[in-house]
Structure 1
Amino acid sequence: MALRIHISERQRRFGAELRRLREGAGLAVKDAGALVGMGGPQLSHIEAGRTGLDPDRLTVLLDAYGHTDETYAAALHRMGLSNGKGWWSAFKGFVNASALDLAEAESTATALSSYETLLIPGLLQVPRYSEVILSGDEKKVAFRRSRQQVIDQGGAVPFHAVIHEAALHTRFGGPNAMRDQLDHLVEVSELPHVTIQVLPFRCTDYVSTGTPFMIVHGPHRDLDTVLTEHPGGTSYLSEQAEIDVYQSKFERLKSFALPALDASRPLRSRVEHDSWGLIQHLRYTL
């Protein structure tokens, strides 16, 4: 079988999980390969994501590695069997590979946790806002709109967003577009599986992160992934220690942010500052 030239994040992660399990079991790559009738170099290619592994051999390796968690094993089998195709495949060549990887990861997520500093999260953007962010690229705007199906009522993947107040003060697309964007945040927050909080300027605690990130929660905790955005592009983090750091950061962000958007609460009951009140204030200043 020819080795892959382009390795998707899912393929890379599948191989990385096999390597992590093998090393945890204390087996050398040549010894593990021998268990499934292949040489060490061939198993190394699999662990690097350059080629796949059939389900029967995966089962043998999981047994040899002493991994008995059925939920994890089933998720790893699905990851290895996936052909990587989905609605995002139609956008290949129009958006970068990292974006395609993100869409594929979101499609199998059990929950999503997002922190944004200067922009509204892509899953919550209205078209006019996205058009400015994406320089009017119709394909990229359509791709972003398609991504949003993951939190539509039908998909119902739990989504929790913490948005820095700075993102609400920008007026990408002009006052009318930003007004539509703020209205959309209120509307989508009414979905039972969507939670939106605003981290206000007046927050006096330091959360030690100025980097936007999203935690893509997998079908098993060991398969969670963190995406970080930086000038050089998007990075995918999968080491458990790294994920724990960002999970802790997100919990702190939630605790420092204003209470979640809840348009159903009567005005008279809003004795404290909350995300809904701040958004309404900003809306009427546009």
Structure 2
Amino acid sequence: MATRRNPSARQVRLGVELRRMRDAAGLKATEAAALLGASSVQMSQIEAGVAGVSEERVRRLAANYGCADSGLVEALVAMATDRTQGWWEEYQSVLPRAFGDLAELEHHATFLREVVITHVPGLFQTPDYARAVFAYMNPELPVSALEPRVEHRMRRRAAIEGAAPTPYGAVVHEFALRVRVADRRVARAQLLQLLDLSELPGVSVRVIPVDQDGFAGAGASMMYCGGPVPRLDTGIRDAPVNKRQIDADVQLRRLRTLLRMVETASLAPVPSREFIHRVAKEL
């Protein structure tokens, strides 16, 4: 059984879910390993995501763990057997693992919801806007490291474009619309692109004005990605990169509550478009 030196977040999540299933069944790792005819070390590697697991083994474990959630089992089988060679893998040698993990998560998500306070969401950014953000966040980045980051961010838009786009709802604070990460030209081009992309099928953009009531305590940026079944939902705080993915049920419930609070405090999509258009005209 070959092991991985740098498993993706998706591979790690599969192992986490298998371990949670085992814990729910009250079995030790050694007992689970015996079910597969494997060693305890191999079982630990499977649950850590550093070793793959076959469809047959996933089904055998689920059956012996007494898991009656067929939707979850089928989703785990799909994760175990997925051999997708995504476009993000082209960047493995030039970008940190977190970039690929985010793109892979967006690719497989059944829906995406995002709240952004300080910047326009990455899925909407223009190259000039993204370049300014990355350059400011890490001023020591050479061009050879900066441009792959910009290109990767542009390619992430594939998740919400194309023949089968992922439904995406974004809530953007007025601050993000008004802050100039570069200059007036870049800011105006960014707002116009935001307006264009807000008309994509399945895309919804809502704005929170600075004078809107009911926004206290819900100010942190976040992303919520729907899984094939609710148990496999994933959250990210302060997205888009270098932040830990959240998969614990308690934390996911908290994120869903925060999302509801933020959406309640935001304008509806049509007034939001009008708001963005007014801000663009002021530039």
Please report the TM-score for the alignment, with normalisation by the length of structure 1: 0.90
- Can you list the C-alpha shifts for 1:206-227, whole angstroms capped at 9, x where unaligned? 4523321111111111111111
Mapping 1:254-269, distance limit 5 Å: 254-260=263-269, 262=270
* Alpha-carbon offset, residue 59 of structure 1: 0.6
User: Whole-Å Cα distance in 2 between the matches of residues 207 and 5 of structure 1?
Assistant: 43
Residue of structure 2 equivalent to 1:33: 33
Residue of structure 1 equivalent to 2:45: 45
Q: Unmatched 5+ residue regions in structure 2?
A: 136-142
* Alpha-carbon offset, residue 254 of structure 1: 0.6
Residue of structure 2 equivalent to 1:164: 173
Residue of structure 1 equivalent to 2:13: 13
Do the aligned partners of 2:3 and 2:52 also contact (CA within 8 Å) in 1? no
Do the aligned partners of 1:229 and 1:235 also contact (CA within 8 Å) in 2? no
> Any idea what SS the aligned residue of 2:95 has?
coil
Do the aligned partners of 2:168 and 2:202 also contact (CA within 8 Å) in 1? yes
User: Whole-Å Cα distance in 2 between the matches of residues 60 and 242 of structure 1?
Assistant: 30
User: Whole-Å Cα distance in 2 between the matches of residues 275 and 151 of structure 1?
Assistant: 19
User: Whole-Å Cα distance in 2 between the matches of residues 66 and 231 of structure 1?
Assistant: 37
Residue of structure 1 equivalent to 2:184: 175
* Alpha-carbon offset, residue 158 of structure 1: 0.1
- CA distance 1:116–1:237, change in 2 (3 Å): same
- CA distance 1:231–1:161, change in 2 (3 Å): closer
Do the aligned partners of 1:197 and 1:275 also contact (CA within 8 Å) in 2? yes
- Is 1:279 aligned with 2:252? no
Mapping 1:223-262, distance limit 5 Å: 223-229=232-238, 233-260=242-269, 262=270
Q: Unmatched 5+ residue regions in structure 1?
A: 263-273
- CA distance 1:4–1:95, change in 2 (3 Å): same
* Alpha-carbon offset, residue 284 of structure 1: 1.5
Residue of structure 2 equivalent to 1:91: 91
* Alpha-carbon offset, residue 232 of structure 1: 9.6
User: Whole-Å Cα distance in 2 between the matches of residues 121 and 231 of structure 1?
Assistant: 9
User: Whole-Å Cα distance in 1 between the matches of residues 23 and 84 of structure 2?
Assistant: 27
Do the aligned partners of 1:153 and 1:191 also contact (CA within 8 Å) in 2? no
- CA distance 1:91–1:232, change in 2 (3 Å): closer
Please report the TM-score for the alignment, with normalisation by the length of structure 2: 0.91
Deviating 4+ runs (over 4 angstroms): none
Mapping 1:186-205, distance limit 5 Å: 186-205=195-214
User: Whole-Å Cα distance in 1 between the matches of residues 103 and 117 of structure 2?
Assistant: 21
Do the aligned partners of 1:117 and 1:212 also contact (CA within 8 Å) in 2? yes
The answer to which structure has the higher helix fraction is 2
User: Percent same amino acid at aligned positions?
Assistant: 32
- CA distance 1:115–1:154, change in 2 (3 Å): same
Residue of structure 2 equivalent to 1:215: 224
RMSD (Å) for aligned C-alpha atoms: 1.8
What is the letter of the counterpart of residue 110 of structure 1?
T
Residue of structure 2 equivalent to 1:268: none
- CA distance 1:82–1:153, change in 2 (3 Å): closer
User: Whole-Å Cα distance in 2 between the matches of residues 89 and 231 of structure 1?
Assistant: 17
